[in-house]
Amino acid sequence: MTLGDDMARANFWVAIAVGCAALAPTWARAAAFDVNHATALYLAVLSPAARARSDAYFDGGLWLDAASTLITVLLCWVILRVGLLVSLRDAMRRRGWRPWVVMLAVAALFVLLLSLLQLPWSIYVDFLRERRFGLMNQTFGGWLGQQAIALALTLVAGSLVLTVINAVIRAFPRHWWLIGAGVVGVLAAFFSLITPVFIMPLFNTYTDLAPGPLRTRIVAMADANHIPTNHIVVFDASRQSDRISANVSGVGPTVQISLTDNLVNRTSLPEAAAVVGHEMGHYVLGHVWTGIAVITLLSAAQFWLLARWAPGVLAAGAWRRGVRGIDDPAALPVLVGLMSALTLLFLPLSNTSTRYTESAADAFGLNAAREPDGFALAAMKLSTYRKIAPPWWEEALFYDHPSGHTRVYRAMQWKKDHVPGAIEVVPAPLPDVKGR
């Protein structure tokens, strides 16, 4: 071994020592980043009063879901007992109307009656309660006007859907539940296609997002993930509420990246990019198709139970009101009432499926936008009307999105894993939302 070899070896170890010394501060900062503490700092942006208000809003909503189902069942019973559907059915049959026309007319009358009878409850749940918690910007007149639009849409779409399902029941009496579920899946895909272009503009005004840093950032993220950018729009959601949101909706030529004006005006660029990145995740990961598949499967299970329970309910007394079978147009109150109860029963499964896709979109958005702090702060702004830190079992059963705590924790974990020298951020407190 020569002196040159000794010097080379010494220089090698000196270089290693210098490199380790240079990296030591970075390692120390990364090791010092406490995910739990960083999460707690974000959770603290809501005051105790604001947190109590969001918890009360969410918990109350769970009871309202159950109450809404009970009210729907009771109203269906009232409609059945009054006998208007039977009278209309018999009158149209005596005049020789075709079965599908009779069904369409009876379905329209049923949808109209049920919607009008539900209106007082809807006024409380969807307007008065929202306003009391500070989540409603509309006047009662403005809200009622949009409810009228929604009723018109429901009257048309609901009547057609019920008529199609009735035709399936009559054509395939033994296996209608399976074919009917397929019909539901096809209709879900159809409405996914037309909603962004034809439905949503009925409620809000859409304009192109102005050139600027936010649009530039969105285009860059979309290009990186092969998302069409022909339609990047902002709509005036502030006329309804102060909630922040965005969506990437549509299929094929109707794909549209939509931002609420609240997101544009009430969040920073990192927050807005994080939210849009999440929505891009839904598009890239094909969650619209996942949702349609889940809807189809759940519909099949619910229809299967309906096919077995409805005849028993009819035999127990509905026949006394002139209803002769589940394919009878006048049987709609029985079928819809049972479906309402089954939907509530299946809610934990539906929530779990949706929460899974939301979690996947969260992960995608963090990688796409690389804004963990922006994502965490946006999640806390959403938590002004969502319970922040529920018990695990409550989140598993009743949440269709990850809780605020879960989302912030995952963002901070992503930050620790992907941001060299990650440091904690102490965000400013959020202003309290005052009820009205």
User: Which pairs from 323-327 meet CB under 8 Å and 24+ separation?
Assistant: 323/80, 323/86, 326/169, 327/166, 327/169, 327/170, 327/173
CB atoms inside a 10 Å sphere around CB 185: 19
Instruction: List the end-to-end C-alpha distance of the chain, in Å, as a whole number.
Output: 86
361 and 319 within one domain: no
Domains: count for the chain: 2
So what's the pLDDT on residue 297? Answer: 97
pLDDT at res. 318: 64
Euclidean distance between CA atoms 163 and 151, whole angstroms: 17
DSSP code per residue over 120-131: HHHIIIIIIHHH
CB 383 within 8 A of CB 338: no
**116 lies in some domain:** yes
Give 303: exposed, middle or buried? Use CB within 10 Å, 0-12, 13-18, 19+. Answer: buried
Instruction: Give the whole-angstrom CA distance, residue 149 versus residue 174.
Output: 37
pLDDT at 338: 96
| Residue 64 and residue 181 in one domain | yes
Question: Residue 84: inside a domain, yes or no?
Answer: yes
If asked whether residues 171 and 275 sit together in one domain, one would say no
Q: How far apart, in whole angstroms, are the C-alpha atoms of residue 277 and residue 280?
A: 5
Q: Is residue 37 a part of any domain in this protein?
A: no
Domain that holds residue 364: 203-287+357-387+399-418
List of the chain residues with pLDDT < 70: 1-31, 318-320, 433-436
Residue 92 falls inside a structural domain: yes
User: Which CATH number fits the domain that encloses residue 223?
Assistant: 3.30.2010.10
**Is there a domain that residue 194 lies in?**
no
At 263, the amino acid letter reads: L
Say whether both 181 and 65 belong to one domain: yes
Output the pTM of the full model: 0.88
| DSSP label at residue 235 | E
In a domain, 165, yes or no: yes
Asked if residue 33 belongs to a domain, the reply is no
pLDDT given for residue 12 in this prediction: 39
Examine the domain organization and report whether 372 and 314 are in the same domain: no
